[in-house]
Copies of this chain bind each other. A is one copy, B any other.
Amino acid sequence: MTPSEVDDKDCYFRYYADVYVHLELIKDKSRMDAYKSAVAFHSDFIEGKVVLDVGCGTGILSILCAKAGARKVYAVDASEIALQAQSIVKDNNLSDIITVLHGRVEDVTIDEQVDVIISEWMGYMLLQECMLESIVTARDRWLKPSGLLLPSSATVNSLRNYFILPLPSCTWLHSPALRYFDNIGFWSDVDGIDMSALIPLAKKDAFSTPSVETIRSESILGKAHQVKKIDIYSVSNPELESVTSKFMFKSYISAPLHGFVFWFETEFSQKKPKHSGVPSPILSTAPEVLIDCDDLIQLEKGQTIEGSVTITQNDMKQRFLVIRLQYASGGESYVKVVSFL
């Protein structure tokens, strides 16, 4: 590990010592509901078993598991928040069930195999701040062959949104269309002053990093594309270093292509799902991650866009992503590279 990597990790774990970050996670209702459903769905399995919570934060998932009847829960976190998790466990009279371990999951010692590994590890575009590597490490080290992983699989998807006319409604305030007009088109004529000299820089500023927002279904231009499905029971860490996927889609309608949207889904099922007809809980994310094109492409109905996307974990800063988009349509090709903190 180089010194800069040490710094990055330090910084990362310090970030999670901020209470505010945990507030955001716990207030993400769809995320919390998915975990609550998953624990409830698997409560027969969890009852009387040993659970490992990787990156436990405030300990809320450990507490859910303890309340669902786990015999023993190991709650591990490298951030200072582990000290608070310890107090919270005590305040909820669960110290006899939950043991909080303050350290990286790669470094702590657990003296038994576990039945369940639960973790809330998913970053933007799924792989951002890829804590999944730590889950894989914990899985290989401690999970019993028959054990349960929550979540059990995760899929990164991509779909495309189109350029929509701005409407004077608050729902559009953060739409890609309004963002484009607001940040770029704005400079063409500022109260009669020609400030279009700023447009190239404004494009660079506005589109150099992905944005995170919720896309309305009306904005979707083509069929969703599956970039990568990860089976957490079997994935290996080298597989996560770089993911490439080719795509091809036909536009549903005539509209300008504004950019690409990425989102992910996670499932919470057993290694060999029981075919009971009851689907295991899933979590599908919103807001999504948007990567805007620098220049709009006017598409005709049925026009194809072909290309590929590569998502690479940055070697220098392990928890950061670089996304490389390559796409072509109507005889023109485009390349767009962005990085995601």
Name A residues whose Cβ lies closer than 8 Å to a Cβ of B. Answer: 18-20, 22-23, 26-27, 58, 60, 63, 84, 87-88, 91-92, 170, 182-183, 186-187, 190, 193-198, 201-202, 204-206
Contacts and interface: CB of A to CB of B under 8 A. Distances in A.
As for how many copies of this chain the complex holds, the number is 2
Nearest to A22: B198
Contacts of A20: 183, 202, 205-206
A186 B92 contact: no
Given A23-B182, A88-B198, 7 more contacts: A19-B201, A19-B205, A20-B205, A20-B206, A27-B186, A60-B190, A84-B197
Of the listed residues A18, A20, A26, A197, the one surrounded by the most CB atoms of chain B closer than 10 A to its CB is A197
Contacts of A197: 84, 87-88, 91
A28 to B, nearest CB: 13
Nearest to A18: B205
20 contacts: A18-B205, A19-B187, A19-B198, A19-B201, A19-B202, A19-B205, A20-B205, A20-B206, A23-B182, A23-B183, A26-B190, A58-B198, A60-B195, A63-B193, A84-B197, A88-B198, A91-B194, A91-B195, A91-B196, A91-B197
Given A60-B193, A183-B23, A201 B91 contact: no
Contacts of A23: 182-183, 186-187, 202
Contacts of A190: 26, 60
Given A20-B206, A23-B186, A183-B23, A84 B201 contact: yes
A63 B189 CA distance: 13
A196 B84 CA distance: 10
A19 B200 CA distance: 10
Contacts of A27: 182, 186
Nearest to A63: B193
A194 B19 contact: no
Contacts of A18: 205
A193 B88 contact: yes
Given A183-B23, A190-B26, A198 B84 contact: yes
A18 B196 CA distance: 15
A27 B63 CA distance: 48
A194 B84 contact: no
Of the listed residues A26, A87, A195, A206, the one surrounded by the most CB atoms of chain B closer than 10 A to its CB is A195
Nearest to A64: B193
A26 B202 CA distance: 14
Contacts of A205: 18-20
